[in-house]
Amino acid sequence: MKKKKTLITIGKRKKSTARAVVTEGKGKITINSRSIDTMEPRYVQLRVNEPVMLAGEKAKTMDIKVRVSGGGVWGQANASRTAIANAIVGWTKDNKLKDMYTDYDRSLLVSDPRRTEPHKPSRSSKGPRRSKQQSKR
């Protein structure tokens, strides 16, 4: 019995983590067991679809299953987008595609390292840097 070739990539954004598993297929992409075409809102769907549209025909030779957890809608969308782009580049091993992704938007291939600042004691509900408003009199 022949083993199926697979590739696993990750993408991160804020508190969200996405793991993409790539196998040979016909270009089907699912995120959390749902088709990418059923994602809402529509702008999020377009954002996640960017690496696939840029890759064109190269993306139609593989199936990508993405599992994403943590964070909010946009964090998950950006994490999924990074995982999908890395999956396509890793599967095709195409340097031209990698350069095209980097020129278009570097965050397609590189996860954003920025994190939210932790809240400070004695004002934890108001944010990390909030202080009392000063009065002149």
pTM (2 d.p.): 0.85
What are the tens digits of pLDDT across the range 16-25? 999 999 999 8
Report d(CA 103, CA 51) in Å as an integer. Answer: 12
Through-space distance between the first and last CA atoms of the chain, rounded to whole angstroms: 83
Q: Residue 110 is encoded by which pair of tokens?
A: 């590189």
What are the tens digits of pLDDT across the range 59-116? 888 999 999 999 999 999 999 999 999 999 999 998 999 999 999 988 889 988 888 8
Q: Residue 46 is encoded by which pair of tokens?
A: 């377009």
pLDDT band at 1 (very low <50, low <70, confident <90, very high): low
pLDDT band at 131 (very low <50, low <70, confident <90, very high): confident
Residues 7 and 91: beta-carbon distance below 8 Å: yes
The CATH classification of domain 6-108, taken from the options 3.30.230.10, 3.40.50.2300, 3.40.630.30, 3.40.190.10: 3.30.230.10
Report d(CA 129, CA 136) in Å as an integer. Answer: 21
Domain boundaries, the chain: 6-108
Report d(CA 23, CA 14) in Å as an integer. Answer: 27
Residues 64 and 27: beta-carbon distance below 8 Å: no
